[in-house]
Amino acid sequence: MSFANQVAIVTGASSGIGWELAKTLAAQQCAVGVVARRKDRLEALVEEIQAAGGKAACAVADVSEHAQTLAAIHSLRDQLGPVDLLIANSGVGMPTTLEPINIDEIEMMFKVNTLGVVYAIEAVLPEMLQRGQGHLVAVSSMAAYLGMPGESGYCASKAAVNYYMDGLRIQLRRRGIHVTTVCPGFIETPMTAANTFKMPWLLKADRAAAMIVKALGRKKKVYNFPWQMSLLMKLAGWAPDWLLERILAGKAGKRLEM
C-alpha cells in the first residue's frame, strides 16, 4: 500500500525510530506531522524533510501530559488535514530498582509509554470514526512479552500497550479503522545506547523504520521483529524462573531496554 497523499502523525519523532519513520513516510509523499519535546530537533527534522521535497510540520508536546498531547496533534491536523495514520512512538526506559523502589521513574514510564499512546489516539480517533477510516499504530517493544528482572516497570508499561491495542483492534474491526502494534527488538537509538551489554540482532533505526512502514502497508495486526528476537522471547516465556535468573544474573538493575 502506498502512503502517498495521506497525513501521518508520529510522536517521539525527535530521534531514533520516530525520526526515521517520519523521513520514510515523507519519502513516500505522505504529509507528516511530528511531535516531541525538543523543538530544535523537530524543526531540524522538518527542514530535512522539506529539503528533500517532502511536506512536514511540527508541534511540541510532552506526551505524558494529556492537554499538551491533544493540543499538539490537533494543531497538526489543522495544518495538514485529517489524520489517516497515527504512530504513537514516544517511549522512555529506566531500570526498576528495589532499594528503594523508584516510584517516580516507574510512574513516568507508564505516563509516557502507556498513557502517551492513549492520549495520542484520543486526539485522532473521533474524526477517524466519523470518516470511517484510519490506521492507529503503537510502537511497543519485544520486552512486552517477558517480565525481566530489573525491568518490571518498563516491561509492564509496554505489555499494557499491547493489551490496549489488542482490545481496540477487535472493537474497531467493523468501523473501518486498522490497528497495529509494533514490537521491535533492539534498535540503535539514544535509549538503547545506554545498554551496557552486547545487544543481539541490533538494527539501525532507518532499517527498522523501513521494515515498520512495509508492515503497516500490509495492515499487520502485530509486527514483531526481527524474527530471531521474537523467537527467543517466545522460548524465554516457556523457561522456568531458575533458568531465567541464571541467564540474566548480573543484569538486574542494568538497562535492558528495547
Active site residues: 154
Cα distance between residue 160 and residue 168, in whole Å: 12
Strand partners, 203: 187
Work out the end-to-end distance of the chain between its first and last CA atoms, rounded to an integer number of angstroms.
Answer: 28
**At a CB cut-off of 8 Å and minimum separation 6, what does 28 contact?**
2, 3, 4, 213
Cα distance between residue 87 and residue 116, in whole Å: 11
Q: Show the CA angle centred on residue 214, arms to residues 208 and 220, nearest 5°.
A: 105
Cα distance between residue 221 and residue 219, in whole Å: 6
Cell of 143: 520486552
Return the DSSP state at 63.
T
Cell of 27: 519519502
The CA distances from residue 13 to 29, 35, 41, 229, in Å, are 18, 6, 9, 24
Residue in the structure block whose three cell numbers are 511540527: 58
